[in-house]
Structure 1
Amino acid sequence: MIETVSCGGVVVHKGKVLALYKDFKGRREYKYVGWVLPKGTVEYGESNEMTAIREVKEESGVDAEIVEYIGSTQYTFQGKEDLVSKTVHWYLMRAQSFYSKPQREEHFMDSGYYKFHEAYHLMKFSDEKYILKKGYQMYLDLRKDNMWDQKRKEIKMNCW
């Protein structure tokens, strides 16, 4: 079994959540079509926080900053050569505008900001629905305490 680590974000701007639509129809046995949160694999020399920021930027064109750590999810899938066990670390992130541009090279065909209930129902995977719900509640709690605009997470620059 191959073990991998990815990082991503629940990106919020003015109460709306960033979602990406991926449409990949590769080999006959592999299809990946649906709405997801931005995430990707940790590269050598990156911290989890750096990966989350980079992946959000690459997949959506969005410049976002980390506010808080949400938690992690785990799942397995059949890779090309072996079973893959993936852990994804998720961060609550803040964007400064509604701008987004999906990364076509990675088969993202659409992106945008949606009201929470819209984004929740769009999500393809139950683990991402769970993280979205948890992250959005964190956002609401920070807003209620007038902390949303002040709070920033300290970013570790290197973990290797």
Structure 2
Amino acid sequence: MIKATSCGGVVIFRGKILLLYKNYKNRYDGWVLPKGTVEAGEEYKETALREVHEETGVKASAIKYVGKSQYTFNTAHDVVVKQVHWYLMMADSYYSKPQKEEYFEDSGYYKYHEAYHLLRFPNERQILEDAYQQYIELKKAGLWGNKKYF
């Protein structure tokens, strides 16, 4: 068994959530949240911001830690147990450009209920639900978009 750690973001701009569409050699396809592997010496928040930027071209600000999810998958030689640390993030525009080298074919911002139903994996839907609730609370408190907050 191999343990792996990734970090990602629930990126919001004007109430809409950023998603990526991945199609890997027609064996894997679906909408996902941006995330990627922690590099040596990196803090989790740094990884999340870097991966969001690499996979989507989006410059985002990390607002707060949301939580973690875990899943397992098989490779040809082993079972991988992956833990993903998630951050609520704010983008500065609707711009996004999917990273073709990672088999992302599309990206875009979607309303909460659309994003929730588009996401392929239940653990990402749960993270989206948690992050969006925190976004709503920050917005109600007048803290979303307030540079003093982060």
TM-score category, normalised to shorter length: over 0.9
Deviation at 1:149, TM superposition (A): 1.5
For residue 59 of structure 1, the aligned residue among 50, 55, 59 is 55
Deviation at 1:25, TM superposition (A): 1.9
**1:64-114 superposed Cα distances (whole Å, 9 cap, x missing partner):** 010000000001100232000000000000000000000000000000000
1:50 maps to 46
1:77 maps to 73
Listed as ranges, the gaps of 5+ residues in structure 2 are: none
Alignment of 1:136 with 2:129, yes or no, is: no
For residue 123 of structure 1, the aligned residue among 100, 119, 122 is 119
DSSP 3-state at the match of 2:64: strand
Scaled by the length of structure 1, the TM-score of the pair is 0.91
Deviation at 1:136, TM superposition (A): 0.5
Listed as ranges, the gaps of 5+ residues in structure 1 are: 153-160
Find the aligned partners of 1:32 and 1:47 in 2 and give their Cα distance: 29
Identity %: 57
Scaled by the length of structure 2, the TM-score of the pair is 0.97
Find the aligned partners of 2:69 and 2:7 in 1 and give their Cα distance: 10
DSSP 3-state at the match of 1:3: strand
RMSD: 0.8
Find the aligned partners of 2:48 and 2:92 in 1 and give their Cα distance: 16
1:105 maps to 101
Moved over 2 A (4+): none
2:24 maps to 24
Find the aligned partners of 1:8 and 1:114 in 2 and give their Cα distance: 17
2:3 maps to 3
